[in-house]
Structure 1
Amino acid sequence: MHRKTWALLTAAACALPLALATTGTAAAETAAAPAAPAVNCTYTPAVPADNFKGIPVFDAKKAAKPYSATLHTSQGNITFQALTEQAPCTTFSFRFLAEHDYYDRTHCHRLTTQRLYVLQCGDPTGTGSGGPGYSFPDENLTGATYPAGTVAMANAGPNTNGSQFFVVWKDTKLSPNYTPFGRITAGLDVLQKIAAGGEDDQNGPGDGYPTLPVNIRNVSLSKH
């Protein structure tokens, strides 16, 4: 079976993208805990299965717990707050992959510096066609916009989310087809430095492999 290409739409196709402390009794702690989202996420086996870590089983209680993720890259750290309430299926998947070291020693394979303004990562093959061995539906698309600092899923069409994601380094206009699941809280300057370095135009003017290599050494998670 051919490998899908996980990529953002071209500009022509677009409509030109916190710590809690609990005290008191166990009952009080339970009452203060985040409410589990009223969803039941399904992760469907899919090809390809690069650096396969298994298929997550959704846990609503765990999914409701806020967290931040830090991408430790060769160009500096990028931290984002996961939108666990708005995109529970997506943030649960990202947490699963990060906890299983899926993103370790991978690199960001695509940078766009015209019209789209994004850095795309999450493919262990570095080709733009890699995936984790499962897919899951889109979410949080109603009224979605993609200002600088947005973290969203790349896909190969509706409901084909896997491991690839993009980070927006400058306000961009994309149609609401890409699940937003995070907001950068630190490291936007790192992204802008990467963007200023340019790309090799492999996919056309302003679209290609980043000139400054962006290697993800590992992803760390912190609870809120």
Structure 2
Amino acid sequence: MASSKDRQRKLARAKLDRQQARRASKLQRRRRIQAGVGAALGLLLIVGGVAWLGGAFDSDDTDAPDASASDVCAWTPQSATTNTSLKEVGTPPTKGIPTSGPQTMTITTNKGKPIVVSMDTATTPCSAASFNYLAGKKFFDNTECHELTTDGAVRCGDPTGTGQGGPTYSFYDENLPTAPPTPAPSPSVKTPPKIAPLYPRGTVAMIGNPPGSNGSQFLIFFKDFSPKTPQYSIVGRVTDGLDTVAAIGRIPVVDNGSGAKVKPKDKIVVQSVTVSAATGATPAPSTSSQS
């Protein structure tokens, strides 16, 4: 028969074996959990990498604005209540405006053959769109060119003939000329080189009130003009009817009531203005919602 010491040793050995078995089971379970977590993380990294390569984290193109459908021109509302010289005609469209190709504007006056102007929609899309819109509204019909400016241009496009009138919207300058640098004097050159004028004869430009806030008023230059600082955004050039412009420039001027001798002695009436569609482009609609 086994002694009591032998039984105690067996019991202690069995207890130790059970403890070691429990420790081994816990360790094995811990390793399985760690392996599972590591596999899951690895899978997430693989899936995330594939999604990144596929552009899943890029911005949603469906929510991004379509550049081809974005607004071309921003028309700033002007209050006819604040300025009673303004005429309510709504606003031009902001989309579908031609931005390439020429447009032809024809200005018929009571002073000779029509004045034909070529406008480049690549450099002045908003000016051309505004002329197109206002011409469709007959905004310019039977209005007077109220001023022959001291800069050598006839000023038209104000139905009130005051210099304060226009539509109930405005837009910014978009094609201001750049003044060329003044050439340095050279002792070997007796006659300095001639610098091209910023506004050559036949130039058509917008004139805003205040400057940079354009509406419907425009200038047609019958003389070359070169200010130190460009003031008027160029809309186009006269391609036919320059003799009419020259004849207008020879009309005597009288006091306009404010002490400035700029009012034409003879009435210069714009009978109509028409604008053709740009070549190869869809014309901008001539109607818009009323504001």
Check whether TM > 0.5.
Answer: yes
Summarize deviations over 1:90-131 as a string: whole Å, max 9, x none. 11111111111110111100013x4x1000000011111101
2:244 aligned partner:
190
What amino acid does structure 1 have at the position aligned with 2:262?
A: G
Summarize deviations over 1:32-54 as a string: whole Å, max 9, x none. xxxx8x97210011134633221
Structure number with greater Rg is 2
Q: Is 1:62 matched with 2:98?
A: yes
Q: Is the 8 A contact 1:41 1:58 kept in 2?
A: yes
Q: Is the 8 A contact 1:137 1:158 kept in 2?
A: no
Equivalences for 1:1-224 in 2 at 5 Å? 40-47=72-79, 48=83, 50-76=86-112, 77-112=114-149, 114=150, 116-143=151-178, 145-174=198-227, 175-202=229-256, 204=259, 207-223=261-277, 224=279
Per-residue deviation, 1:61: 4.5
Between structures 1 and 2, the one with greater strand share? 1
Per-residue deviation, 1:209: 1.4
Q: Secondary structure at the match of 1:96?
A: helix
What amino acid does structure 1 have at the position aligned with 2:207?
A: A
Write the distance in 1 (CA, Å) between the matches of 2:137 and 2:226: 33
Write the distance in 2 (CA, Å) between the matches of 1:222 and 1:69: 7
Query: TM-score normalized by structure 2?
Result: 0.59
Query: TM-score normalized by structure 1?
Result: 0.75
Q: Is the 8 A contact 1:119 1:167 kept in 2?
A: yes
Runs of 4+ with >4 A deviation: none
Structure 2 unaligned regions, length at least 5: 1-67, 180-197, 280-291
Summarize deviations over 1:162-199 as a string: whole Å, max 9, x none. 11111101101233121101110011111111111221
**Aligned alpha-carbon RMSD (Å):** 2.3
Q: Secondary structure at the match of 1:185?
A: strand
Per-residue deviation, 1:157: 3.1
How many pairs are equivalent?
186
Q: Secondary structure at the match of 1:200?
A: strand
Higher relative contact order (CA 8 A, sep 6+): 1
Q: Secondary structure at the match of 2:172?
A: coil
Structure 1 unaligned regions, length at least 5: 1-35
Q: Is the 8 A contact 1:146 1:168 kept in 2?
A: yes
Q: Secondary structure at the match of 2:108?
A: strand
Q: Is the 8 A contact 2:173 2:212 kept in 1?
A: yes
Q: Secondary structure at the match of 1:171?
A: coil
Write the distance in 1 (CA, Å) between the matches of 2:125 and 2:73: 8
Q: Secondary structure at the match of 1:94?
A: helix
What amino acid does structure 1 have at the position aligned with 2:77?
A: P
Between structures 1 and 2, the one with greater helix share? 2
